[in-house]
């Protein structure tokens, strides 16, 4: 149909320019085995005059050997090119076909219907704008129809055409068509399919494919080709949130530094203010360079090189955004995963996660539930098998810059790679729901639990006090980085130990290397770090030990909750304080410099608040007092409160 343009003979350059400006529609065909997916695409290409004559002659010959139409032309062979596909009469791999009409360009992905190849279907659907779900009119809505519909919904494909195929085998019955439509609507009501349409077809004979069917006068809707040419997809792309993951830094000479990548979403214009993540350095767009030269405006999914007005540190894996519109920055998130490997997904195992232009190591912390695609029910499961879908909590070893998949496909999706085989084992879609929000609920959850009936030990607390000559307590040293909390905690431990006391130190950073290795430095993660640590400190106290805990603990409300867990009668808060110059001078790890440059977000005292204790049991000015003086003051406080003699 595109080849019928008169411009081909008159002005080939004008024709090519016109063809280049056509809108591109990517769509997939999916459904159960033998619903006629390959046949539909073959007929679509055949009736649209998109098959070359020599190829058509070859297909007619092969139809006599491999065809399923009694020696007549079999349209399914247009896409089923693998020998195994032709022998078995099924689609195994994703087959891509390209064609155009006078109105649009198309890329078709013919995906397998067999359950064994569900992963291939998910691959083909990942870039599609529209899905054609075929249903055999004889069999109606099948399990695989539901599975593919769920994946289509999961992958955020907004436009869905349900084509009831093989209407000729049910005598073009309108009653049967309406019955199938109602069955499908009943199932789809639980899915997110905002633009749903139904078309009756007899694909083998080309009825309602390109031309209307004379055998179905009761259907007055558009044909499949007419719908494909007219469906509006302009609003599907995210043009609000500008995201450019950096793929390569182009530095051909001393006077040029360009940051290259494919725009994942949004629009950028020359002169716009931008921000580079993770450094949060800002600048303005000096040039937007493409293969065809400089342009004033670019949008997704163009590949561009941005030249900035200022010299900023930006490299592969970083992301350029707008200052007032930034993605979420975190190393933890929730995602829905489609497992693509024969070896089961194992929570806790280390995988590689490729997100935009970053590849980082991490692990799947927990599998929240597995989705039964037949009923859409959520069922508990210890692992995911091949082709199964589940909701997971994930932690990676460095921050990613992401949006929810529903809002932004480019920054909301990732793949999982096996570190040993380098095989892609899973694909994930980041959810709107935040993992750390689940953790904040842990404080509330434990309040509902009761210790009634739990026997902790046969040794009483009085017996422990008599043995150790002390009353157990937890001393929390809180303060900003550089106030000497950890150093003072160790010195206090030494002093108490030398005086015969049973004591231990709990350091916040050491906790993060073990029990709390999955936590970051967000407000919620800091809260969870203290919650877990408070229960460990309580166990130390229950065993009769003194616990000296060194944590930043910036929130008063969280410190109050720690006191409730441990017991307010054996919990002391000591505020370590020092002036800014002293704190920075002691910062041998350069945390303050990183926080000021934006590389370490949510840093108390710089980019996050620190709430000094309202009623501290002791305040230590560590800029004026020596370490030994601070340790003596803590021991004196313990003696004064009756914890040690």
Please determine, for residue 519, whether its predicted confidence score (pLDDT) is greater than 70.
Answer: yes
549 touches 536 (CB < 8 A): no
Question: How many C-beta neighbours within 10 Å does residue 244 have?
Answer: 28
Buried b or exposed e, range 491-513, using 16+ CB within 10 angstroms: bbbebbeeeebbbbbbbbeebbe
For 382-494, strand residue ranges (E) read: 389-402, 413-417, 424-430, 473-478
Given 274, 298, 321, the domain boundary residue is: 321
Please determine, for residue 446, whether its predicted confidence score (pLDDT) is greater than 90.
Answer: no
For residues 548 and 485, membership in a common domain is answered with: yes
Q: How far apart are CA 418 and CA 416, in angstroms?
A: 7
Domain assignment present for 447: no
The token duo for 469 is 């000559």
Q: How far apart are CA 319 and CA 401, in angstroms?
A: 7
Residue 40: exposed, middle, or buried by beta-carbon count in 10 A (0-12, 13-18, 19+)? buried
What's this model's pTM, rounded to 2 decimal places? 0.62
Given 230, 265, 287, the domain boundary residue is: 230
Domain assignment present for 531: yes
For residues 103 and 143, membership in a common domain is answered with: yes
Domain assignment present for 584: yes
- At 90 the pLDDT is 42
Please state, rounded to an integer, the average pLDDT across all residues of the chain: 84
Please determine, for residue 394, whether its predicted confidence score (pLDDT) is greater than 80.
Answer: yes
Full DSSP string of 188-256: HTTS--SEEEEEE-BGGGTBTTTB--TT-TT--S--HHHHHHH---TTTS--SS-EEE--EEEEEETTE
Q: How far apart are CA 220 and CA 228, in angstroms?
A: 16
For residues 627 and 531, membership in a common domain is answered with: yes
Please determine, for residue 466, whether its predicted confidence score (pLDDT) is greater than 70.
Answer: yes
Question: Could you read off the pLDDT of 468-518 as tens digits, one per residue?
Answer: 899 999 999 999 999 999 999 999 999 999 999 999 999 988 888 888 877
Predicted confidence band of residue 455 (pLDDT cuts 50, 70, 90): low
- At 103 the pLDDT is 83
DSSP state of 295: E
Alpha carbon distances (Å) from 171 to 165, 387, 446? 12, 36, 63
Q: What percent of the residues of the chain are helix, what percent strand, and what percent coil, each to the nearest 5? A: 35, 30, 40
* CATH code of the domain containing 345: 2.40.30.10
The token duo for 272 is 């716009």
Please determine, for residue 92, whether its predicted confidence score (pLDDT) is greater than 60.
Answer: no
Domain assignment present for 411: yes
Q: Number of folded domains in the chain?
A: 4
The token duo for 33 is 């085995």
For residues 259 and 343, membership in a common domain is answered with: no
Q: What values do phi and psi take at 383, rounded to 5?
A: -160, 170
For residues 346 and 494, membership in a common domain is answered with: no
106 touches 2 (CB < 8 A): no
**Containing structural domain, residue 305:** 243-321
- At 45 the pLDDT is 76
Residue 238 or 425, more confident: 425
For residues 380 and 426, membership in a common domain is answered with: yes
Question: Could you read off the pLDDT of 574-603 as tens digits, one per residue?
Answer: 999 999 999 999 988 888 887 787 667 778
Task: Quote the distance between the C-alpha of residue 272 and its chain's center.
Answer: 28
Question: Could you read off the pLDDT of 207-262 as tens digits, one per residue?
Answer: 998 889 999 999 999 999 899 989 988 778 888 899 999 999 999 888 899 999 99
């Amino acid at each position: 149909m595109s080849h019928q343009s008169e411009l081909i003979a008159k002005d080939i350059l004008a024709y090519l320019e016109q063809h280049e400006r056509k809108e591109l529609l990517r769509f997939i065909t999916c459904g159960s085995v033998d619903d006629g997916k390959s046949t539909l695409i073959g007929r679509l290409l055949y009736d649209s005059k998109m098959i070359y004559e020599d190829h058509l002659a070859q297909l007619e010959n092969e139809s006599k050997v491999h065809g399923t139409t009694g020696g007549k032309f079999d349209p399914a062979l247009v896409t089923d090119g693998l020998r195994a596909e032709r022998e078995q009469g099924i689609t195994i791999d994703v087959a891509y076909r390209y064609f155009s009409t006078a109105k649009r360009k198309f890329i078709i992905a013919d995906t397998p219907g067999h359950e064994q190849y569900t992963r291939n279907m998910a691959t083909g659907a990942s870039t599609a704008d529209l899905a054609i779900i075929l249903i055999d009119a004889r069999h109606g809505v099948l399990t695989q129809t539901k599975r593919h519909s769920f994946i289509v919904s999961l992958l955020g494909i907004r436009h869905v055409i349900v084509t009831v195929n093989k209407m000729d085998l049910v005598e073009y019955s309108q009653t049967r068509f309406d019955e199938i439509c109602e069955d499908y609507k009943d199932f789809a009501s639980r899915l997110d399919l905002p633009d749903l349409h139904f078309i009756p077809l007899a694909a083998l004979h080309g009825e309602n494919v390109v031309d209307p069917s004379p055998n179905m006068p009761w259907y007055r809707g558009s044909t499949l080709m007419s719908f494909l040419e007219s469906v509006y997809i302009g609003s599907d792309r995210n043009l609000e949130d500008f995201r450019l993951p950096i793929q390569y830094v182009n530095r051909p000479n001393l006077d040029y530094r360009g940051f290259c990548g494919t725009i994942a979403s949004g629009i950028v214009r020359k002169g716009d203010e931008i921000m580079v993540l993770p450094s949060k350095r800002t600048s303005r767009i000096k040039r937007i360079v493409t293969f065809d030269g400089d342009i004033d405006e670019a949008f997704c999914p163009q590949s561009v090189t941005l030249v900035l007005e200022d010299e900023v540190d930006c490299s592969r894996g970083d992301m350029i955004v707008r200052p007032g519109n930034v993605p979420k920055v975190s190393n933890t998130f929730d995602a829905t995963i489609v497992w693509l490997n024969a070896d089961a997904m194992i929570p806790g195992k280390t995988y590689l996660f490729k997100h935009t232009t970053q590849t980082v190591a991490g692990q799947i912390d927990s599998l929240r539930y597995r989705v039964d695609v037949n009923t859409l029910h959520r069922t508990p499961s210890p692992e995911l098998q091949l082709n199964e879908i589940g909701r997971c909590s994930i932690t990676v070893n460095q921050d990613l810059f992401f949006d929810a998949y529903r809002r932004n496909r480019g920054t909301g999706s990732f793949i999982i790679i096996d570190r040993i085989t380098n095989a892609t084992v899973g694909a994930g879609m980041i959810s709107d729901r935040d993992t750390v929000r689940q953790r904040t609920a842990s404080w509330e959850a434990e309040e509902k639990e009761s210790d009634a009936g739990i026997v902790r030990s046969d040794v009483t607390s009085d017996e422990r006090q008599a043995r150790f000559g002390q009353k157990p307590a937890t001393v929390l040293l809180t303060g900003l980085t550089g106030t000497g909390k950890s150093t003072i905690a160790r010195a206090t431990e030494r002093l108490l130990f030398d005086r015969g006391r049973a004591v231990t130190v709990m350091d916040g950073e050491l906790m993060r290397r073990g029990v709390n290795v999955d936590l970051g430095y967000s407000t919620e993660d800091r809260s969870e770090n203290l919650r877990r640590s408070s229960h460990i400190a309580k166990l130390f106290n229950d065993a009769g030990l003194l616990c000296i805990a060194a944590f930043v603990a910036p929130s008063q409300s969280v410190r109050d909750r720690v006191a409730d867990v441990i017991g307010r009668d054996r919990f002391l808060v000591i505020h370590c304080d020092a002036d800014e110059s002293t704190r920075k001078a002691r910062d041998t790890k350069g945390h303050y410099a990183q926080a000021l440059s934006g590389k370490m977000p949510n840093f108390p005292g710089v980019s996050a608040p620190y709430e000094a204790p309202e009623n501290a049991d002791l305040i230590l000015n560590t800029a004026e007092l020596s370490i030994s003086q601070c340790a003596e003051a803590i021991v004196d406080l313990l003696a004064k409160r009756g914890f040690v003699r």
